[in-house]
Amino acid sequence: MMQPVKMIFSSIARRGFATTSRAAAAQQMTVRDALNSALDDEMARDERVFIMGEEVAQYDGAYKISRGLWKKYGDKRVIDTPITEMGFAGIAVGAAMAGLRPVCEFMTFNFSMQAIDHVINSAAKTFYMSAGMVNVPIVFRGPNGAAVGVAAQHSQCFAAWYAHCPGLKVLSPYDSEDARGLLKAAIRDPDPVVFLENEVVYGTSYAVDPKVLDKDFVVPIGKAKIQRPGKHVTLVAHSRAVETCLLGAAELAKKGIDAEVINLRSIRPLDMETIFNSVKKTHHLVTVEQGWPQSGVGAEICARVMEDETFFHLDAPVWRVCGVDVPMPYAKTLETHALPQPKDVVEAVHKVLGGKK
């Protein structure tokens, strides 16, 4: 009989960033430029699209995501706000109800808690409560999850928080292709979208196919990507945890273990079909996320696998690699301990495979 779902917490290891292979013909693009170009494309394409948030206009955005857009589109379409998330989120939701397509930037999603009443009760529920008469086409975007040295109040991951709520779509890009294609899809979507970025990778360059630069390129919402094919174990992650999985998979490959890495891209809706198909091939599953373990994204995936006939294809319990179940410490060494590292992924895989490889 199979044991209950188990989880493994993170321990110290080196912090990894970009490992994406660089094809000679591919162009390099930072995540920051991918987001900026997506906003520019969609504002040029649809005059109803506008941006509002703290320092998004004259300062070009706290992280320079809206760089150059105020000069190009003016005060009416790139709007600086006071430091009042509840106020400008409410204005943005009302504008969406009236037919515009606002992109509401939170300087960090930790501050979205000041506006969560509008995100949940105003944006997410209105389509249902109006019997389908009122759409709310709004994007709430900004950095999410752990950064570096910003401690407990600025480091939590909100993927599971917002994915819990019907009426929202929740996206979590990993690389430049994800960032550009998913943001364009989010802006075009008729429903409210929570768009969770990570500031640590804003300046990281990834190779992008020329098709990604096309003005009509979008990444479909609700579709995961097999970031690295494999046959022995399935690793499922989103955002920076995809990088952790790729680094872990590279180490496992040295030992003859071929790990398949799935980049979720979309947290709600979840692409369970891709996960199911992978698990039926590998017969082993490890989920990886920087968020806390209880009621997390990995916990949801575990539950859905066990509720599906895919459960009977598992040769071992599902394992979760999560952030440690504590508020984020400020000290650098403790912060590293609190986040999943590649060695944690390697350790989890070895426990799941049980010496088969």
In the numeric block, which tokens belong to residue 325?
């179940």
Domain range annotation of the chain? 27-213, 225-353
Say what the pLDDT of residue 2 is: 38
Find the radius of gyration of the CA atoms of the chain: 20
Architecture of domain 225-353: 3-Layer(aba) Sandwich (3.40)
SS (H, E, C) 22-37: CCCCCEEEEHHHHHHH
Q: What is the pTM of this model?
A: 0.91
Detail the DSSP E strand segments found in 100-232. 101-105, 139-143, 169-171, 193-197, 205-208, 225-228
Q: What are phi and psi for residue 319, nearest 5 degrees?
A: -120, 145
Say what the pLDDT of residue 237 is: 98
CATH number of 27-213: 3.40.50.970
- The residue annotated as part of the active site, out of 154, 313, 337, 350, is 154
- The residue annotated as part of the active site, out of 54, 85, 289, 335, is 85
The arrangement of strands across the sheet holding 285-288 comes to 6-9, 319-322, 285-288, 233-237, 259-263, 225-228
Residue range 215-247, pLDDT digits in tens: 999 999 999 999 999 999 999 999 999 999 999
Say what the pLDDT of residue 355 is: 65
Say what the pLDDT of residue 17 is: 40
Same fold, 27-213 and 225-353: yes
Residue range 9-67, pLDDT digits in tens: 333 333 334 444 444 457 999 999 999 999 999 999 999 999 999 999 999 999 999 99
Active site residue 154: yes
| Secondary structure of residue 248 in the 3-state scheme | helix
Say what the pLDDT of residue 18 is: 42
Distance CA 144, CA 158 (A): 7
Say what the pLDDT of residue 26 is: 73
Judge if the upstream peptide bond of residue 269 is cis by omega within 30 degrees of 0.
yes
Active site residue 85: yes
- Which regions of the chain are under pLDDT 50? 1-24
Are 289 and 161 in contact, with CB atoms under 8 Å apart? no
Are 135 and 127 in contact, with CB atoms under 8 Å apart? yes
Are 15 and 336 in contact, with CB atoms under 8 Å apart? yes
Query: Max Cα separation, the chain?
Result: 64
